[in-house]
Structure formats: C-alpha cells, structure tokens
Amino acid sequence: MKVQQNISLKSFNTFGIDVLAKEFAVFSSADELTELLTTNNKQQASTLILGGGSNILLIKDYDGLVLKNEIKGIELINENEHHIDIRVGAGENWHEFVLHCIQHDWAGVENLSLIPGNIGASPMQNIGAYGVEIKDVFYSLEAYNYNDKKVYTFTLNDCEFGYRESVFKRKYKNQFVILNVTYRLNKQPKFNTTYGAIEQELEKMGVQELSIQAISQAVINIRSSKLPDPKVIGNAGSFFKNPSVTKEQYESIKLKYPNVVGYANADGSIKLAAGWLIEQCGWKGYRKGDAGCHARQALVIVNYGNAKGSDIYNLSEEILQSVKEKFNVTLEREVNII
C-alpha cells in the first residue's frame, strides 16, 4: 500500500503509452482504499482508478494519484435450481472469470469471452460483444463513494445501463470506486449464436452439439482473427462507438453507398458500423509514425511501438473529421481519454 512517486504507466495500459503518474499505489480492499484516500487527503478530481488499462488513452503525465484496483475473490453467494449469484472482486481479470464460469457450467458470459480488462470496469462500460452485454447477467455491485466515504449497493435499475454506458460514466462520473460485482448466471443455458459469424465459426469447428464451451471457443477464434493482441500491438479495442442515425439519414447514405452496414435499433434508429465508415474514408491499414489504423479492423487504432498518447488522439481526430465530412456522421470516442 506504499505510495510511489513518478511511476511509468507504460505497462499499466494496453495502448502501451509511456507517461508518468505523479503518485501510484495498489489497493486490495475497501479498507486499504479508504486509508489511501484519507491519509493522502485525496479528492476524486486528482485520483484515477485503474483496472487493466484496456479502455484508456493517456495523453499526458497524470498529475495526481493513480490507484490500481487489486481487490480479488470469487464467492458464490446464492444458488437455486435455476441460477447462481456470484460476487467477484473488482480486481479479478474478466476473461479468467469467464473461464471459471464455463468450467462450472454457469451460462451467460460465454459470448463475452476474451474481452480484456477487469471486473470493476465491466459495469462501468456495460461491456458487450456478440449479442450480449453485462446488463444481461448483472445482479448488483458495491461501490465506494468519494464524497461521504460510504459503500453503496447498486441494483440493475440503479446502473442505468446503455450501449457502452452506465450511470458511472454519466451522472456519477468520478464519484464511485466499484469494489465488487455480483453476476446472476444460469444453470440452464440460453444459447445466443445469432450474432455475427458465430454460427459460421461453430460449423467450421465441426460442433455437433451446442455448449457454452463451444460458443466461448467460437468467440475466441473470431476475436483472435481480427482484433490485435495488445501484448503484440498496443490498442484499446474499438476506439469509437458505433453511431446511431435516423432511418432517413441511413436511407440517404444508402442511396449513395448501397453497401453501408447498419443494424436496426429497437427505437427505429439505425446503428452504423463505424469500422465500415472509417474504412470507406481510406484509413484501414494507415500508419503515421507509430500511430495507425488496424489493417483487419478499421475501428481499432493501434500503437506500433512508441506513439505518444497525443499521436493516437490526433489520428482519432483526423478520422473523426473525415467521417463527418464524408457521411455527416459524428463519431464518439469509446475509449476514455485521460
């Protein structure tokens, strides 16, 4: 729990950006967190909570205290014939938790296999992939409030989950530290294979009988074939969200670009594939210095080695401007800029 000075954050973010934290400490319980914040008299404005660092872009040295959440533990807290409730420490790794569930035949998170990062950020971002989001398996969470130093319980409704959104990114931004999350998993699986290339991949794998193990493996195979491994090339997954437009705007884009990729939302608007928009603007495979746009997935901005956070940010700005000019669609960054 020692507070260290001037620590490089390069190995703590998957973009591999080399900036310094003025102060850095690790905590592994709510008590340690409280002690760190009170003895150092820290306000939320000068504190950054870090999980796996897989959804942040550090654009400058951090002039405050970076606190790495290492709260561990996986605890079964409730079980009946249909489901189990399992409480997980915010510092546990997400994919290891998914594998733990699959080993125990607990269904619900198999489509979310291989997403980097830790448990604590999963509700923050309402992480999602292949037709499933955290909100589908979320039961509750406990979070520490910086202002009154108390721990609060949040239920599904309290979190106000949306597409890569939650109350923690909006009205409670920088006000809570998520300590643990309770997920409700199913004993009888409801297989979800309709999204993207899952069925095609299952066929390729020669799967005769569907299982959560097979779905997890199919998702892992698809993801590995197109998303760069941050251990090899720095990145934070999709840099932008997929933007939604009105049906009219979609139709007018489609008139000019018949191949536009879009999916209907429940409210009638259309979600466009940002990767497609970016590719159409000619960015796929582009590289300037060590900042680039991935050759297999244009939505992923990459650091080939020594890019600065500002190089990545400036490239994202150029991409955003060109999509605006060509399609009159404004992209929103998914990655948290710090």
Q: Which residues bind ligand EPU (CB under 6 A)?
A: 129-130, 196, 237-238, 241-242, 261, 273, 275-276, 279, 284, 297-299, 334
Q: How far is the C-alpha of 196 from the C-alpha of 209, rounded, in Å?
A: 19
The only residue of 132, 178, 202, 260 in contact with ligand FAD, by rule CB under 6 A:
178
Choice among 87, 122, 133, 164 that is catalytic: 164
Structure token digits, residue 309: 């956070």
SS3 174: coil
Token pair 């729990």 is at which residue? 1
Which residues lie below 8 Å from residue 270, measured CB to CB, with a gap of 6+?
244, 245, 246, 247, 249, 250, 262, 263, 264
Quick one: which of 287, 266, 276, 286 has its CA closest to 329?
Answer: 276
Q: Does 122 contact ligand FAD by CB under 6 A? A: yes
- Nearer to ligand FAD by Cβ, of 169 and 287: the residue is 169
Q: Is 164 considered catalytic here? A: yes
Q: How far is the C-alpha of 41 from the C-alpha of 132, rounded, in Å?
A: 40
Q: Is 328 left (phi over 0), alpha (psi -120 to 50) or beta?
A: left
Choice among 54, 166, 238, 316 that is catalytic: 238
The only residue of 36, 37, 121, 302 in contact with ligand FAD, by rule CB under 6 A:
121
The only residue of 57, 88, 115, 312 in contact with ligand FAD, by rule CB under 6 A:
115
Q: How far is the C-alpha of 45 from the C-alpha of 263, rounded, in Å?
A: 38
Per-residue burial over 41-68, b = 16 or more CB atoms within 10 Å of its CB, e = otherwise: ebebeebbbbbbbbbbbbbeebebbbbb
Closest contact distance (angstroms) between CB of 92 and ligand FAD is: 10
The only residue of 101, 167, 227, 274 in contact with ligand FAD, by rule CB under 6 A:
227
The only residue of 52, 108, 243, 275 in contact with ligand FAD, by rule CB under 6 A:
52
- Nearer to ligand FAD by Cβ, of 12 and 250: the residue is 12
279 touches which of ligand EPU, ligand FAD, none (CB within 5 to 8 A by kind)?
Answer: ligand EPU
Q: Contact positions toward ligand FAD, by CB under 6 A?
A: 14, 48-56, 69, 90, 115-118, 120-122, 124-125, 127-129, 177-178, 227, 230, 235-237, 336
Which residues carry out catalysis? 164, 238, 334
